[in-house]
Amino acid sequence: MAYRTDIATFGVLGAGVIGGGWACRALAAGCDVLAWDPAPQAETRLRAQVERAWPALERRGLSAGASPERLNFVARLEDCAAADFIQESAPETLALKRELHHRIDAAAAETVIIASSTSGLLPSEFYQDVRHPQRCVVGHPFNPVYLLPLVEVLGGRDTAPQALDAAQRIYAALGMRPLRVRREVPGFIADRLLEALWREALHLVNDGVATTGEIDDAIRFGAGLRWAFMGTFQTYTLAGGEAGMRHFLKQFGPALQLPWTRLPAPELSEALIDQVVDGCARQLGQRSIAELERYRDDCLIGVMEAVAAAKRKHGLQAHE
C-alpha cells in the first residue's frame, strides 16, 4: 500500500491542549486544518489557542502560505475524513479511542494514515476493531506540540511497516523529530522516564524534603540545562572523564544498589494534593496560565536557537 505523505490538509480529532497544538503546527507548516471536537465552545478555545501560539510560531519560522485562516472547524467527526492525514488527540480512555478510530477508519480513504496522540495506551488495543489496522499508528508528541519536535512513532501488531515509514516522513515534513519505538510498551520511552522522575518528586514533597519550587529549581538550574542538548547517557559518559562510560559505571554503578529511589508512587492523599497544588500556586504567583505559556514558549525558542547555533559551530547536524 502506498500511503499519502504529501500532506495538504491535516485532520485533528479532539482540539484540547494536544490536538490544538497539532493544529498550530500544521497551520504553521502551511497546511489546511480540519478540526473536530464535540465539547462546548471547543472552536472558540481552539482559535484562541492558535492566536496565542502564533507569535511564537512566527519567531520560529512559518512555511509558505501559513495562516490561521486555514483552520476550519467541522461539525462531524466524519468530515475530517477528507484530510490527507488524521491525528486523534482524545482523552486517554480506551473505549472512547476505540469508538473514534472505528468511525474515522470507516470514513477515510485507505491510503490515509490515522494516528493517535496517546501517551501510553497500546495501539493494538484501540485499533482492534478497525477495518484497516495496517494504516493505524501512534504519534505521541510533547507539549507544546507546536514547538517541541519530538514525536514517538510506533505501531500495533497489525500496523504495516510502510505506514510507520510514511508517518515518520509526514512528521519530519512538519518539522518534527520522529523517534521510532521498537516495541509496544506502556508509556513508550519518554513518558516512562518522566513518570519515574515525577514519582520521586511527589515522594520528596510528601516526605517534607522539598517544596515544589525547590524541586523545580533542582532541575532547571542543574540537569535540565544539560538535557536541552545532551541526554542522560552522553552526560554520564562525560562524568566518567577520559575513560568515559565504563569508568562511570565502575565508579558510580554500586550506588544503584543504594535505596535512593522510591519508584512506587506515593498515595495521592488529600494532604499531598494540597501540598502540591499550594506549592504550584506559589510558583505561579500573580501570573496567569496564558502568561506562563508565553514565557515558556519564549524560553523554548531561545534554548532551541542557542542549541542550533552551537551545533552549527561544531559542525553537527540538526538531528544529532
Structural domain spans, the chain: 9-180, 191-285
pTM for the model stands at: 0.92
Cβ(48)–Cβ(79) below 8 Å: no
Neighbours of 107 (CB within 10 A): 16
9-180 and 191-285 have identical folds: no
User: Hey, what CATH class is 191-285 in?
Assistant: mainly alpha
Three-class SS of 48-89 = HHHHHHHHHHHHHCCCCCCCHHHEEECCCHHHHHHCCEEEEC
- Name the band, by pLDDT with cuts 50, 70 and 90, for residue 217: very high
Percentage of the chain surpassing pLDDT 90? 80
Which CATH number is 9-180 given? 3.40.50.720
pLDDT at 174: 98
Q: What is the mean pLDDT of residues 249-265?
A: 78
Dump the DSSP string for 6-40: S-SEEEEE--SHHHHHHHHHHHHTT-EEEEE--ST
State the average pLDDT for the chain.
94
pLDDT at 120: 86
pLDDT at 98: 96
Lowest model confidence (mean pLDDT) among 70-84, 121-135, 160-174, 242-256: 242-256
